[in-house]
Chain A
Amino acid sequence: MPQVSFEHIVKSFGAVTVLNDLNLRIDDGDFLVLLGPSGCGKTTLLNLLAGLLEVTDGRIKIGEREVTDLEPKDRGLAMVFQSYALYPTKTVHGNLKFGLSASKLPADEIEKRISWAAKLLQIEPLLNRKPAHLSGGQRQRVAIGRALVKNVEVFLFDEPLSNLDAKLRTEMRLEIKKLHDELKQTIIYVTHDQIEAMTMATKIAVMDGGVIQQFGTPDEVYEEPANLFVAGFIGSPAMNLRKASLAKNGALIEAVFPSGVRLDVSDYRFADAPEDGAEIIVGLRPEHFGLPEDVTNAAGTFELPVRYTERTGSDATVFLEFENELLALRIAPDKTSRFKSGGQATVGFQRNKANLFDARSGRRI
């Protein structure tokens, strides 16, 4: 079964090197999301795999097959594009059929696959329509259908949901996840939307500046970000990142903020033995704060002025001022009455939830 691997990939456009010695291995059946801001090289990586771009150096393998120099159609891949890329002059049926034009299948097998995909995606009533007469969601289904009929083992998705409205996006997200559960193919999915990444992926590769910053399961990436970039990129509202220094006193290890506030980090799983006085950056997730009565045995307590509150319905974000910067924290909406803008509030931070990074290298310690 296929395992997709990138080995020492280098990609340059003229003098600009976008990817430099990139290595990545995707196991069979994985749903890998390449996540990163615009221009981080994630789409370039996908296009290299698809064969739409040529690698400058390195090898790409699908299973035991080296595909680096194969034509796109011979690589055994199917791709869904951001703009759907449907053929405007062909009907839905024609679009699906053209997807099979490179495979020399008998006509009845082609029809069988088209009706299978149409049924799976519930686009049967649309088969005779042209793309111009379809809604955004329907077009997206057809685009997925055109990939499905090929019956390949690796699917590529290039930001397929970014052109849909919020509600449709949520629906299609679930649907793609369902498809993956049913069909078990390997999926490589490019997005800059962390919610898509967190909800659908079995593995996430966070990319920035052409480098894979962290590769792991969604939980690993969220709970134990490997560096400051990942910590700041994943999570909404973003993780609060504050400078502090470590204070070691026997078994007690504390992070001391410039204003003197102390946070107990004794039970943090340090990779190396911590040094006393080390300059660090503490990452505090907004949802790990709570009112003093909710957080028993808090690692640290903050008494701070309240600046703003934002309600999103299911929960609320409160911004407190901490050392002249805003500190975001997430609380249940019914507790917002305790946070009056201009007033003071006391909040506790849960034990064993802080993330610590080296202030100089930005790496997790």
Chain B
Amino acid sequence: MSSQATAATIGNTPTVQYFPRRKKRISGRSIAVLVFLTICALFFSVPLYVVVVTSFKSMDQIREGAIFSLPYIWSWDAWDHAWNHACSGIRCNGLKVGFWNSVSILGPSLVLSIVLSMVTGYALALWNVRWAGPFLFILFICAFVPFQIIMYPLIVMTSTVKIYGTVWGIAVVHAVLAMPVLTLIFRNYYKDIPTEIMSAAVMDSGSFWKIFVEIIVPMSGNILIVVLILQITSIWNDYLIGVTFGGLNSQPMTVNLANLVTVSTGTTNYAQNMAGALLTAIPPLVVYFAVGKLFVQGVTAGAIKG
């Protein structure tokens, strides 16, 4: 009869449920890990705490020097001043000018840099490109060239084509500088697309752009999120390209912030500086919180075969 019982068990495998076993007691090792993680968290959050509370304090309270104390009166004055009235050079219209400049720089820079690298990566990974190997190698080397070295030639080039000092000038420079790394990212991602899908597409359509738009782009969701976050952060936080190529009218928010912090007459208004810094840092933070989960999925996508 035992053989029958075995057969029955094999026939209906009971549904197996996995659940984390409850730990009987906390071991010494996990306490050490917890302590370490807490210290790490404090390391990052204490300065942030100081910045936030300072931005709400009055100058009188700041001068008392107790940087950890909470504001006696919570005041939005510093925030209002930083956003609406802070001076950048001789103009005192606040950071909002720079904010909108940054927004208008972000759009074209993102589109230009991502589209350029995506198409290049697609061509290198999935089509027979002559000299693809050497090209990739040169691209890889370019990723290590510091921007400062090629800054002057880039200024000459952009002014020759009359885009120096415009949003488009900044966008082109962003696209060029991001291309090596982004192309490598896209190329490696597209290398994992099964060759048979590409063969089928080549037999079905044969058109470089049609296959790209209809087959490849829809398959790029994961990697696009990763690249989008990388690029939004790096373009928004950029200072050097903005200050060099933006001229007087297209300077991004980071440049305004730097002017606000460094060039001030009289006393340094710490509250305004802190508020300005927070205002500048908020957009990338929002992006992280909004798509952070997708970012992690994108980074690990393809790590395990489905």
Contact = CB atoms under 8 A, between A and B. Distances in A.
A79 B202 CA distance: 11
A129 interface: no
A102 B207 contact: yes
B196 A82 contact: yes
Interface stretch (A5-13, A84-92, A192-200, A289-297): A84-92
Contacts of A81: 196, 199-200
Interface in B181-195: 194
Given A85-B197, A89-B218, A98 B204 contact: yes
A188 B203 CA distance: 16
B132 interface: no
B215 to A, nearest CB: 5
B206 A102 contact: yes
A139 interface: no
Nearest to A73: B206
Given A85-B196, A85-B199, A101 B219 contact: no
Contacts of B64: none
Q: How large is the interface on B (under 10, 10 to 19, 20 to 34, 35 or more residues)?
A: 10 to 19
A87 B205 contact: no
A52 interface: yes
A282 to B, nearest CB: 43
B206 A87 contact: no
B205 A101 contact: yes
B232 to A, nearest CB: 24
B162 interface: no
A89 B219 contact: yes
A52 B203 CA distance: 8
B219 A88 contact: yes
Contacts of A72: 202-203, 206
B197 A78 contact: no
A102 B201 CA distance: 10
Contacts of B202: 52, 72-73
A220 interface: no
A13 to B, nearest CB: 14
B204 A102 contact: yes
Interface in A81-115: 81-90, 98-102
B60 interface: no
Nearest to A54: B128
Contacts of B215: 87, 89-90, 98
B202 to A, nearest CB: 5
Nearest to B204: A99
Interface centre among B203, B206, B215 (most CB of A within 10 A): B203
Interface string A67-78: 000011110011
Contacts of B206: 71-74, 102
Contact of B194 (A52, A83, A146): A83
A31 B202 CA distance: 24
A231 B58 CA distance: 96
29 contacts: A51-B203, A52-B203, A71-B206, A72-B203, A73-B202, A73-B205, A74-B206, A77-B203, A79-B203, A81-B196, A81-B199, A81-B200, A82-B196, A83-B196, A84-B196, A86-B197, A87-B197, A87-B214, A88-B197, A89-B215, A89-B218, A90-B214, A90-B215, A98-B205, A99-B204, A100-B204, A101-B205, A101-B207, A101-B214
Interface of B: 194, 196-197, 199-207, 210, 214-215, 218-219
Given A52-B203, A73-B202, A79-B203, 6 more contacts: A52-B202, A83-B196, A84-B196, A85-B197, A87-B197, A100-B204
